[in-house]
Each structure stands twice: as structure tokens, then as C-alpha cells.
Chains A and B, each alone.
Chain A
Amino acid sequence: MNGNVTSNRMKGRDRQVTLVAAIAVVQAIAATFFVADAIGDVAADGLSTHIVIEGLIAFALFAGVALGVWQVRIMLRLAQRRDEALAIASGALAEHIGHRFSEWGLTDAESDVALFALKGCDVAEIARLRGAAAGTVRAQLSRIYAKAGVTGQAGLVSLFFEDLLG
């Protein structure tokens, strides 16, 4: 129910991090081969000007690995921070909603129904989700709207929207 959009975006982000990580892994393997090969060359032929170039390449390869790893680290940290901010925001919103519901004096059952209504469910869906008769849900909804001082679902939603916008 809670937004496929968000989870899709998260998957995209995960894929992106995985891609950068995979490149870092390939770079690490390439760098290791190159350096081992260069050391083998030195052992076989001794030092030569060639080794200066090989040394430079080795440096560049390892710098690439370090940068890749650093990039992964940053991406992971950003993702984590966004997750946390989202959790805090949704936690705060849930708390606020609960606060309002008790202010209005909603019963537990009414709170449940009101939450589904806020999430955009219609009467039939709420009835199915709660295993209740449609008539019962309709009666609960009208009591909820009366207690909240609104005329319908759109009014209920816009109450919280107003709160969010400040």
C-alpha cells in the first residue's frame, strides 16, 4: 500500500550503488594483477625506466579503487540518511495522526477505519481489509467525519495535508 514509487526509487538507488561497487571490485582485481605483474618484471629484469611508467599506472589503478570505494561509502551513507529522515518523518506523521484521532475521541475501531480512509481506501476495501460488513464501515466513517468536523474522505485527508504544509 505504501507507495510503490518509493520502493522503486530505492531499488534504483540500490542498483546504482551495486554498479559502482562492482566497478570498484573489477578495478581492485585489475590493480592487483597489474602490480603483481610489475613486481614480477622487476624481479626478472631489474629496475628500468619502464618501471616508472608501471609505477604510475599502478598508482592510478589503486587511486581508482580508493575513489570507487569512497564513492560507495558516500552513496550508502546518503541512502541511510534519507531512509532515516523518511522514517522520522513517517513516524512523526503517524504520531500526529494518532494524536488527532484521540483528540476527536475516535474509538480503536474507528481509528483503524480512519487510517484506511486516510490511505485512500474506499468503503468496500476497508470492509474487506477489516473483515466487516460494508454497512458497518459506512456507519463508522460517518461518525468519524462528524467527530473530525468534515463532510467526507477528501476533507479528512486535507485536514492532515494542511497540518503538513504548516
Chain B
Amino acid sequence: MTAELSAPRRWDPIVKLTHWGIVVAIILNAIVTEEGSGWHVRVGYGLAALLGLRLLWGIVGPHEARFTAFPPSPFRAIGHIREIGQGQVTHHRSHNPLGALMVYAIWACLAAIIASGIAMAGAPPSDPFAASHEEAEEHAVASPATSDDEDEDEREEEGGAGEEMMEEIHEIGVNLLYVLIALHLMGVVFETRRSGRQIVTAMLPWGNRRSR
């Protein structure tokens, strides 16, 4: 018990780099890049790569970073809430059960945003300053449909409806993500007050990971 208490929590560099990379990408696409612009798409692809790497790390990484270290378990999350109610503090090597649910929710949300974004924009533009990528893409998407002249109209209709649905998913996903981020930050602040600053320093790039 004491050993577990005194063992400092620390996140490995892959977790840190992907976390802060994802944070930067979200901020860029939320307020810097123009919606649907070349840079927006590029940043989105960068985000996809970071998320992909983190998910790979969840399988092959060190114990604390693996999915098995923080399974999505509502039961354990309820147990954790009960602990909070009783004022007990257990130190976890990985995410606490409540935080784990949040992490999976954020990842799922990001995956939906990325998937719908790629469905709309297609491949990353080679020239990010090109005026509108959408037009070129519409061509590429439409061409297989037009080659099939029988149900051409129907397909185009479908494509249009699909596009609209993707846009819808993208937007809802983003709004949901903002809510999750707000909850995440509240969670971090709350756990920090409950269990100490170590929670945050373990994730900071310059966090003193090995000092005891």
C-alpha cells in the first residue's frame, strides 16, 4: 500500500506528446484554421495520426498506458464516485475509473469527428492554400456515380444526403467534444484538489517525473 502510494505517477513521452499534440490540433481547428479549408483538413489528419499512435500505444505501450490498465467499467466508476463521497483517496497508476470513461468518450468523439471529416474532405490537399478543396473532391466522389448512368440521379442524391449527414455528425461531434473537454478540465481540477498536484505534473512536458 505504502509502496503504491509513494510510487510517483508519470506518463511516458508518447502519452504526453500525443496528449498535447491533440490539444494543439483541437485548438488550431477550433479557432485558427478556417472551417473546411486546406489547413483545417491537414490539421485534422495530423490529429488522426496522433490519435492512431496513442491507440497503438494502448496495445503495445507500458502498463500504465495500456487499455487493460484503465478498462471502461461503469461499475468501477461508480465505486470511484462512492470513494469520493466517503472522502477516500486511492492512488491509481493509470487513469482513475471515472477518468477512464472520460478518456474513451473523448477518443470516440475524436474518431467520429475525424471519420466524418475525412468522408467530407477526402485526401489531404497538397497545396493547403488552394482555395477550395471541396470542389475538387466533389468531382472525385461524383465520378464513379456518373459513370453508372442508370441510377445516376439517385446516387447523386444519396451523395448529397450522405454529405449532409457527415456534416451533421462532424458538428454534433465537435460540440460534444467541447462539453467533454470542459468536463475533463473540471475533472483534472477536482482530482488535483483531492489527490494533489502530481496529477497534473505527471502530464506536463517538464513534469518532474522521477523526483521522489
- Chain B nearest CB, measured from A14 CB (Å): 7
Which residue in chain A gives the minimum CB-CB distance to B41? A36
B210 CB contact (under 8 Å) in A14, A32, A33:
A14
- Complex: A36 Cα to B45 Cα, angstroms: 8
- Chain A nearest CB, measured from B18 CB (Å): 7
Which residue in chain A gives the minimum CB-CB distance to B49? A32
B12 CB contact (under 8 Å) in A7, A10, A40, A76:
A76
- Chain B nearest CB, measured from A165 CB (Å): 27
Asked if A28 lies at the interface with its beta carbon under 8 angstroms from chain B, I say yes
Instruction: State whether A76 touches B210 (Cβ < 8 A).
Output: no
**Are A24 and B14 also in contact (CB < 8 A) when A69-B57, A69-B60, A77-B62 are?**
yes
**Are A32 and B48 also in contact (CB < 8 A) when A17-B13, A73-B61, A76-B62 are?**
yes
Which chain A positions have C-beta within 8 A of B18? 25
- Complex: A101 Cα to B17 Cα, angstroms: 47
Which chain B positions have C-beta within 8 A of A36? 45, 118, 123-124
Asked if A115 lies at the interface with its beta carbon under 8 angstroms from chain B, I say no
- Complex: A36 Cα to B125 Cα, angstroms: 10
Instruction: State whether A44 touches B45 (Cβ < 8 A).
Output: no
Dominant secondary structure at the B interface: helix
Instruction: State whether A37 touches B13 (Cβ < 8 A).
Output: no
Which chain A positions have C-beta within 8 A of B13? 14, 17-18, 21-22, 72
**Which residues 1-25 of A have a CB within 8 angstroms of B?**
7, 10-11, 14, 17-18, 21-22, 24-25
Instruction: State whether B210 touches A10 (Cβ < 8 A).
Output: yes
Instruction: State whether B62 touches A7 (Cβ < 8 A).
Output: no
Instruction: State whether B210 touches A7 (Cβ < 8 A).
Output: yes
Dominant secondary structure at the A interface: helix
- Complex: A17 Cα to B42 Cα, angstroms: 27
Which chain A positions have C-beta within 8 A of B17? 18, 21-22, 25
Asked if A94 lies at the interface with its beta carbon under 8 angstroms from chain B, I say no
- Chain A nearest CB, measured from B67 CB (Å): 15
Asked if A29 lies at the interface with its beta carbon under 8 angstroms from chain B, I say yes
B49 CB contact (under 8 Å) in A29, A41, A69:
A29
Which chain A positions have C-beta within 8 A of B211? 7
**Which residues 31-57 of A have a CB within 8 angstroms of B?**
31-33, 36-37, 39-41, 43-44
B14 CB contact (under 8 Å) in A31, A69, A77:
A69
**Are A37 and B140 also in contact (CB < 8 A) when A21-B14, A29-B50 are?**
no
B122 CB contact (under 8 Å) in A33, A40, A73:
A40
Residues in B lying within 8 Å of A, measured CB to CB: 12-14, 17-18, 21, 42, 45-46, 48-50, 52-53, 56-57, 60-62, 118, 122-124, 126, 140, 209-211
> Could you name 14 residue pairs across A and B whose Cβ atoms are closer than 8 Å?
A14-B210, A28-B53, A29-B46, A29-B50, A31-B49, A36-B123, A37-B124, A39-B123, A41-B123, A65-B53, A69-B14, A72-B13, A73-B61, A76-B12
Residues in A lying within 8 Å of B, measured CB to CB: 7, 10-11, 14, 17-18, 21-22, 24-25, 28-29, 31-33, 36-37, 39-41, 43-44, 65, 69-70, 72-73, 76-77, 80, 83
The 9 closest A-B pairs by CB, nearest first: A40-B123, A32-B49, A21-B13, A29-B49, A18-B13, A28-B53, A28-B49, A21-B14, A25-B17
